[in-house]
Amino acid sequence: MNQFFENRGFWFRLFTLIIIALTAVFVAVTFGTVFASLFFGTAKIADHHIDTVLFLQAFVSVGLFVVPPLVYARCFGEDLTMKNKPKLLSVVLCVAIMMFSMPFCSYLEELNLNMRLPSAFAGLENWMRIQENNAKELTDMILSHREPIYILLNVLVIGMIPALGEELFFRGVIQDSLLLKTSKIRGWICVLITGAIFSAIHLQFFGFLPRFFLGAVLGFMLLITKSIWTSILCHFCNNTFAVLTAGYFSNESMNDVPQVFEYKSVIIISVVLTIFLFWCLKKNEEK
């Protein structure tokens, strides 16, 4: 089968990826619903019971983000940079970048939430906020269960599976295999395009800026280290931190936590340290 796909260009690869992804998500949703009905019963599915929500979330995430890049890699003989082992210092620097960039990411989140569209687009903005609230309600419902078993399941479903799948799909396939290798677009522009696609596909419009920034940070990590494992690890750390924070703090106590984006000095330090650490990462990879 590899001979048929050998030396194919950008548009053929993109079309193939779309077909693989649509097929995978259809199969995942169909079989996920069937298996959830068998394991938990239709009543729990209708009531949006936490067990069925986590099960379907995991099943669909695997079908949409994990399976397609692996099938794509098999077809085109790509390794999606999974065979490249990152340097230990590079891993440490990437984790530090993720940590020190969070204040600026929080600032972008607050900025994005307060954005308003022109009055002519009031209907569109209302629809976007409804979608945002629906997504937030689902997330809050999942994270509200603080029993140890559910925290572990959340680490798996929200932390591990999206980190692995989304990095393989967006950074491994779209950024590296499609844009960098088979298009005329190069370097940081590929990172920004992939970051925008990564953010837009979540369909959470008032979280576009922080998610775009996160995607760009992860994309630059891959661009510099040439290893998908650095971005997978940092994506996992970011998601898991959110899960564990939600498991430790109640919604009321979270309101009492000082918001770092309220302090301009913290935001400036965050930006400066992020840029400096990326410079250190690049120098370390050039050795």
Q: Same domain, yes or no, for 275 and 135?
A: yes
Of 48, 78, 108, which residue is a domain's last? 78
Q: Same domain, yes or no, for 48 and 97?
A: no
Q: Same domain, yes or no, for 72 and 89?
A: no
Q: Per residue in 12-45, is it b (16+ CB within 10 Å) or e — as a string?
A: ebbebbeebbeebbeebeeebbeebeeebeeebb
Could you report the per-residue pLDDT of 191-216, keeping only the tens digit for each? 999 999 999 888 778 889 999 999 99
Q: Same domain, yes or no, for 119 and 221?
A: yes
| Mean pLDDT score, 96-122 | 87
Contact 45, 37 (CB under 8 A): yes
Mean pLDDT score across all residues of the chain: 87
Domain count, the chain: 2
Q: Same domain, yes or no, for 234 and 110?
A: yes
Residue 18 has pLDDT above 90, yes or no: yes
Of 78, 99, 128, which residue is a domain's last? 78
| pLDDT score of 248 | 64
Q: Same domain, yes or no, for 154 and 184?
A: yes
| pLDDT score of 251 | 52
Q: Same domain, yes or no, for 10 and 57?
A: yes
Of 78, 113, 138, which residue is a domain's last? 78
| Mean pLDDT score, 163-187 | 92
Reduced 3-state DSSP string for the chain: CHHHHCCCCHHHHHHHHHHHHHHHHHHHHHHHHHHHHHHHCHHHHHCCCHHHHHHHHHHHHHHHHHHHHHHHHHHHCCCCCCCCCCCHHHHHHHHHHHHHHHHHHHHHHHHHHCCCCCHHHHHHHHHHHHHHHHHHHHHHHHHCCCCHHHHHHHHHHHHHHHHHHHHHHHHHHHHHHHHHHHCCCCCHHHHHHHHHHHHHCCCCHHHHHHHHHHHHHHHHHHHHHCCHHHHHHHHHHHHHHHHHHHHHCCHHHHCCCCCHHHCHHHHHHHHHHHHHHHHHHHHHHHC
Q: Same domain, yes or no, for 70 and 85?
A: no
Least confident piece of the model among 10-19, 92-101, 134-143: 134-143
Q: Same domain, yes or no, for 100 and 48?
A: no
Q: Same domain, yes or no, for 89 and 178?
A: yes
Range of the domain at 202: 81-286
Give 176 or 48, the one with higher predicted confidence. 176
Q: Same domain, yes or no, for 42 and 110?
A: no
Residue 3 has pLDDT above 90, yes or no: no
| pLDDT score of 193 | 95
Q: Same domain, yes or no, for 147 and 109?
A: yes
